[in-house]
Amino acid sequence: MTTAPAPSLRHDWTIPAVEAIYTLPLIDLLLRAQLGHREWHRPNEVQGCVLLNVKTGGCPEDCAYCPQSAHYDTGVGREAMLSVDAVLDAAGRARSEGATRFCMGAAWREAPESGPAFEQVLAMVRGVRALGLEACCTLGMLTDRQADALADAGLTAYNHNLDTAPEFYGHIITTRTYRERLDTLARVRRAGITVCCGGIIGMGESRAERWGLLQQLATQNPHPESVPINLLVAVDGTPLADRPPEDPLELVRMIATARVMMPASYVRLSAGRLALSAEAQALCFLAGANSIFMGEKLLTTPNPEPDQDRDLFDRLGLRLQTHAAPGRERQPGPPPLQPAADGRA
């Protein structure tokens, strides 16, 4: 018996097409996302990632959600960069807890061009790869030379989120342009590093602006290999501290739509999980999320305890991925879902 060919990946998404998917009846949207998920991924397997702050606080950016910004009084101070040994000790612990990707973040607007800090990051990357883990960094903007150096060190992925749609971006960040974010992503691509790029919901953006973010992500060619979807963690001292909690079903819709539009990508259920019930997280996995951040902290904000995640996975019958992320190979599964009878995308 022959397997049906994999559906091609689309990069020509329009806002009306995104809207048509996002606003489907939720049950229909979940079905479509889950069937698509099974075309490309093992349905009950989730990648575990750990994110460590290697350089905390004092960032000159004014991102309205970020407690590490030097513009806000959040109680997060500027700290010295961690040693390579300290980072590799943390990476070893992450591997022992079941993580297959180790992510390193530094509170920089751009990675420093000279001095020992960037060389330390390169040593960290080489050490993490030597442990058999995927290595990801988020260091702000990069030059071509820095992207090439990270690639030579063996970096698996570079995280550089778009955060929101271009139309809403200026309400959240004024110290870096959208174009600069896209330019960094292009440099990462040219260097041969895979892209981790997503955004945040719950910052006061409209649904249309959520569709705009998804369009920006899904019209990249290739799609980002990893798409983190974050739920705002409102931190005291930031301009978004008083934002009301977002409806968890909007997060589910965001994940499901990302899964439909970017079926080969890992869709990561990222910041904000601590605010979600077990049932809401289960819906996120049903919607196609197949990666999480593990550990007690995401940079400076809290995350579920490891025991909580183990209990949830046991209850849902999920397991952590034990191998490096596969390439864009289709997994055996049901045939592609046909367009709805009413012609919606």
How much is the pTM?
Answer: 0.88
How far apart (Å, rounded) are the C-alpha atoms in residues 220 and 232? 24
List residues bridging with 141 in a β-sheet: 110
Catalytic annotation present for 59: yes
Annotated catalytic residue within 49, 137, 187, 196: 196
- Of 135, 123, 50, residue with least CA distance to 93: 50
Is pLDDT at 42 greater than 60 in this prediction?
Answer: yes
Q: Which residues pair with 54 in a beta bridge?
A: none
Catalytic: which of 49, 103, 137, 197?
A: 103
pLDDT digits (tens, 9 = 90+) for 256-289: 999 999 999 999 998 888 889 999 999 999 999 9
284 tagged catalytic: no
Selection from 300, 314, 246 nearest residue 107 by Cα: 300
Q: Please confirm, yes or no, whether 197 is among the known catalytic residues.
A: no
pLDDT for 36 equals 93
pLDDT tops 70 at residue 3: no
Residue 216 phi, psi (nearest 5): -60, -40
Say whether 66 is catalytic.
Answer: yes
**Among 325, 216, 286, 241, residue whose Cα is nearest residue 72:** 241
Distance, first Cα to last Cα, the chain = 30
Q: Confidence class of residue 335 from pLDDT cuts 50, 70 and 90?
A: very low
Query: Could you tell me the two tokens for 169?
Result: 């971006």
- Assign 3-class secondary structure to 26-45: HHHHHHHHHHHHHHHCCCCE
265 compared with 75, residue with greater pLDDT: 265
Catalytic entry in 49, 63, 137, 197? 63
What is the CATH code of the structural domain delimited by 15-318? Answer: 3.20.20.70
* Catalytic residue selected from 49, 136, 137, 284: 136
Is 196 marked active-site? yes
Report the pLDDT value the prediction gives residue 345, as an integer from 0 to 100: 37
**Confidence grade of residue 301 (pLDDT, cut at 50, 70, 90):** low
Choose, from 66, 137, 197, 284, the residue flagged as catalytic: 66
pLDDT of residue 73: 78
**68 in Cβ contact with 106 (< 8 Å):** no
Catalytic residue among 32, 49, 59, 137: 59
Lowest mean pLDDT among 78-82, 89-93, 297-301: 297-301
Q: How far is CA 258 from CA 130, 225, 290, in A?
A: 32, 12, 12
